[in-house]
Amino acid sequence: AQSVAQPEDQVNVAEGNPLTVKCTYSVSGNPYLFWYVQYPNRGLQFLLKYITGDNLVKGSYGFEAEFNKSQTSFHLKKPSALVSDSALYFCAVRDGKAGGSYIPTFGRGTSLIVHP
């Protein structure tokens, strides 16, 4: 079975400060990890993914995420937050092992609020 947890329902950060949105996962094989963003009244937009390779993954809009196998985490980060980053962020995981589910499991989402 695969699962993902986003322990924070909401993250508040001041504009210009660094931000972190946390995600931990559980899979039986190698994880494929994803971050999506959902702006108000919009669908999900892909931000970045980790399949293999470098643990630090860079994505859209200046976001990056670090894969940490020992901590089974894939936290989303940005060095300097913008008010326009305010949105709902979803972490997702799928099992990369042969025969594993090809359908990702999504976390509950974390609402990021960036204050001016």
Partner 1 sequence: SAVISQKPSRDICQRGTSLTIQCQVDSQVTMMFWYRQQPGQSLTLIATANQGSEATYESGFVIDKFPISRPNLTFSTLTVSNMSPEDSSIYLCSVEVLGASGYNEQFFGPGTRLTVL
Q: Which residues bind partner 1 (CB under 8 A)?
A: 32, 34, 36, 41-46, 49, 51, 90, 102-104, 106-109
Smallest gap from residue 15 Cβ to partner 1 (A): 25
- For partner 1, the closer of residues 64 and 106 by Cβ is 106
Indicate the residue among 108 and 115 with the shorter CB distance to partner 1: 108
- Grouping H, G, I as helix, E, B as strand and the rest as coil, residue 62 is helix
d(CA 49, CA 17): 23
User: How far is the C-alpha of 74 from the C-alpha of 29, rounded, in Å?
Assistant: 16
CB of 116 to partner 1, least distance (A): 25
The nearer residue to partner 1, 28 or 45, going by C-beta atoms, is: 45
**Cα–Cα distance measured from residue 90 to residue 38, given in angstroms and rounded to the nearest whole number:** 8
